[in-house]
Amino acid sequence: MKKNILRVFLIILLFATFSIIFGFSSQNKEQSGGLSQSITEVITNQIKFIQDKSEQDKLKIVDRIESIIRKIAHFSIYTIVRNFINVAYVYI
């Protein structure tokens, strides 16, 4: 009984994750780029080495790091999906 409840909960989390993926996929280029850039700026603003650079150098660094952040985000969300499926059907 408890296993079935946990399995249903994990399936609900899986569908919630799919909804998040669908929401991100439905964003246009400007919205998606703006979100990625704002997250990248928050991260880079925490790094002292980057804070000491000129504004022009900061923009170059943010542009380079943004693609890495996007790739990590894609990898992470699909890893979460895989983990939910794995736990729901293999370990329970």
Number of domains in the chain: 1
Do 66 and 10 form a contact (C-beta atoms < 8 A)? no
Domain residues for 54? 2-91
The confidence score (pLDDT) of residue 91 equals: 65
Q: pLDDT per residue over 29-45, tens digit each?
A: 788 878 888 888 888 88
Q: pLDDT per residue over 59-89, tens digit each?
A: 888 888 888 888 898 899 999 999 888 887 7
Mean pLDDT of 22-33: 84
Q: Other CB atoms closer than 10 Å to residue 73's CB: what's the count?
A: 14
Spatial distance between the Cα atoms of 40 and 13, rounded to a whole number of angstroms: 27
Residue 18 — pLDDT band, cuts 50, 70, 90?
very high
Mean pLDDT of 48-53: 84
